[in-house]
């Protein structure tokens, strides 16, 4: 199945929630775990138990694993392997962005099915130029994977770059969105190239109908609510929306059952809204 078809199927089966796996020190402490490789292993295994095959999308944040060095990366590899092919799609939050052979190497590392780190989709940054993302797009196409490109992010510093106006008269964000839309044109049920658009960006005149999925951070603990989802994305097919949340669900831990219940409850809330 194409990535777009898998996104649609997973969303219709489970709902739009994309649960982040963010083992930062404060959350490990909240769960009664040490900020150590052993604590990381326990945290990751509990998330797999709670979410695999229960939610449509799971988004590990690579940095929180990488900070433990090679042993942390090994935990990330196991987490990815345990999550994939359970019905949940793995979106690895890496925000990579580079040029030429380096971009191609990153793409191979995360999107080639022969890689031990292969996932269903990754996040990337377009700010070395949209064309530098070509290796990610090409590798994703070969492996029926997806790519989420930063466009309108929820951090307060983002407008300085993303709202800047280019020579074409479009904003930087608008240019990214337009190029994604062109790349996805004609693909059903949606294209494999998505955009990252925050739930807390406020009003926007940008065209968010890019013919592909949207990864929506900022929901829940960061301040975004169902009203923001309706206002910004209510005109789009709901199966294209991946509503990303971490703390709102992870704060229910460390019990796997409680974590699962929190994610399922949030899915039901969003389906009813």
Q: Distance from CA of residue 72 to its chain's centroid?
A: 20
Closest alpha carbon to 59 in 23, 30, 31: 23
| Contact status, residue 242 vs residue 18, Cβ threshold 8 Å | yes
- Active site (annotated) includes residue 95: yes
- The alpha-helical segments, DSSP class H, found in the chain are 3-14, 25-30, 37-51, 62-66, 70-83, 100-111, 134-142, 159-162, 172-184, 226-233, 247-250, 256-272
Residue 273: both structure tokens together: 């809204």
Angle ∠(122,255,95) on CA atoms, nearest 5:
15
As a whole number of angstroms, the distance between CA 80 and CA 74 comes to: 10
Burial string for 28-58 (b: 16+ CB within 10 Å, else e) reads beebebebeeebbbbbbebbbebbbebbbbb
Burial group, residue 251, by CB count within 10 angstroms (0-12, 13-18, 19+): middle
Sign of CA dihedral 100, 103, 106, 107: negative
The catalytic residue among 24, 95, 170, 231 is: 95
Catalytic residue list: 95
């Amino acid at each position: 199945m194409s990535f777009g078809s898998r996104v649609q199927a997973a969303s219709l089966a489970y709902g739009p929630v994309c649960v982040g796996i963010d083992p930062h020190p404060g959350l490990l402490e909240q769960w009664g775990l040490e900020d150590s490789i052993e604590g990381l292993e326990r945290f990751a295994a509990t998330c797999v138990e709670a979410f695999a095959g229960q939610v449509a999308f799971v988004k590990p944040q690579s940095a929180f694993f990488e900070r433990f060095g090679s042993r942390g990366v090994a935990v990330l590899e196991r987490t990815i392997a345990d999550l994939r092919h359970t019905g949940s799609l793995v979106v690895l939050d890496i925000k990579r962005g580079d040029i030429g052979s380096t971009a191609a190497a990153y793409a191979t590392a995360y999107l080639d099915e022969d890689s031990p780190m292969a996932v269903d989709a990754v996040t990337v940054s377009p700010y070395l130029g949209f064309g530098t993302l070509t290796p990610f797009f090409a590798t994703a196409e070969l492996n029926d994977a997806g790519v989420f490109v930063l466009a309108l992010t929820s951090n307060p510093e983002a407008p300085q770059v993303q709202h800047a106006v280019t020579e074409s008269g479009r904003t930087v964000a608008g240019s990214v969105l337009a190029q994604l839309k062109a790349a996805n044109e004609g693909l059903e049920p949606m294209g494999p190239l998505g955009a990252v658009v925050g739930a807390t960006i406020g009003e926007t005149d940008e065209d968010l109908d890019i013919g592909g999925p949207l990864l929506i951070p900022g929901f829940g603990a960061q301040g975004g609510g169902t009203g923001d989802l309706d206002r910004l994305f209510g005109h789009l097919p709901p199966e294209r929306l991946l509503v990303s949340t971490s703390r709102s669900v992870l704060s229910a831990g460390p019990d796997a059952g409680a974590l699962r219940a929190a994610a399922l409850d949030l899915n039901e809330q969003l389906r009813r809204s």
